[in-house]
Amino acid sequence: MSVEQTEPCGLWVATGETDYVLYGRDSPPILRLQTILHELMHIALRHAGHAALSWGTGQVAGLLLSAGAAFGAAFVAHKALFLGLKLADLAPPWPEPVVTQTLVTFSVVLICSSFVLATLWKAVDGVRAWPRRSAMYRDLHALWYLLYQAVPDIVLVTPRRPRRDPWWVFGVEQRLYRRCVEIGDGIQALGPQDAQVRAVASGRAAELGWDQARAAAAGEAAAILVAVRRLEQGRVVRREVEPDLEATAGEGCTRRRRGRRP
C-alpha cells in the first residue's frame, strides 16, 4: 500500500483465519524489512489492540474500578442525604454509621483491588508467556548464529559464548525482539538472495510432502545458506549506506560538479 509521511509505516491486521502485515509500497528496502520484523514481533508476542481485546483481566480490573467508584458515589449521596435529614431535624431510617462504613470499605477495597490486579497482570502475563518466548528464542539460535558468523557486526554487544544455546533466558521479551532485529540486519547484509535456489528448494520440499509454509521456509533457508557461502567467498560487496540514499547523494554530487566552472 502507499502511505504518506505522516501515516504509520506498517500495520498488522489480524482476522479469524490469518494475519496480514502491511507496509509502504514505496518504502526503502531496509525500512520495509524493519517494518515486517516489527509487526511479526507483535504477532509472536501475541499483542492485542483495544478493538480485539477479549474478556480478561483488563476488563475485570475495569469492572472493579467502576464498582469501587459506584460505591464511592453512593457514599457521597448517602452523606448528602444524611446531612439534609439532619438539617430538617429528621432522624434517618437507617443506621448511618454502619452504612457509611460499609460503603467506604467496599469502595476502597474494590478500587485498590483493581489497581493491584492491573499492576500484577503484566508480570503474570510475562511469566505465562516465558516458556513460549524462550522456545522461540532458542529456535532462532541456529539461524542467528549462522548470520553472526558471517556478519559479526550485527550485534550491539559481542556475546561471551555465541555458540551456546541457553535454556534459561532472563528478559526474554527484549532479547527475542533484539534477536529478530539482528537476524533482519544479517539477512540485509547478505545481499540479494537467489530466487532460483529458493524456488528449487521449495519445490523439492513440496515433492517430499511438506506443507506450503514449511516448503517456503525450506526455500528461504536454502537461499540464506547460498548467500552466506557467497559472502564468505567474497563475492558480495556489503553496503553500509542505504541504496536509495546513496543514489540521492550521488545525484547531488553530480549536480554540484556540473555547476562548477572550469
Rg (CA), the chain: 30
165 three-class SS:
coil
Q: What is the rounded distance in angstroms from the CA atom of residue 111 to the CA atom of residue 118?
A: 11
Cβ-based neighbours of 54, under 8 Å, separated by 6 or more: 48
Quote the CA–CA distance of 9 and 44 in Å, as a whole number.
19
The pTM is what? 0.53
**Domain spans of the chain, in order of start:** 1-54, 57-128
**Which residues have C-beta within 8 Å of that of residue 214, sequence separation ≥ 6?**
205
Cell numbers placing 234: 567474497
pLDDT 10s per residue in the chain (262 long)? Answer: 544 555 667 777 776 667 778 777 777 776 777 777 777 776 666 665 544 434 566 778 888 889 999 999 999 998 999 898 888 888 888 888 899 999 999 999 999 998 888 778 777 777 777 888 888 888 888 999 999 988 898 888 788 888 877 766 677 778 888 888 899 889 888 888 888 998 999 999 999 999 888 898 899 899 999 999 888 887 554 444 444 444 444 444 444 444 444 4
The helix (H) or strand (E) run that includes residue 22 is strand 19-23
Is 192 within 8 Å of 152 (Cβ atoms)? no
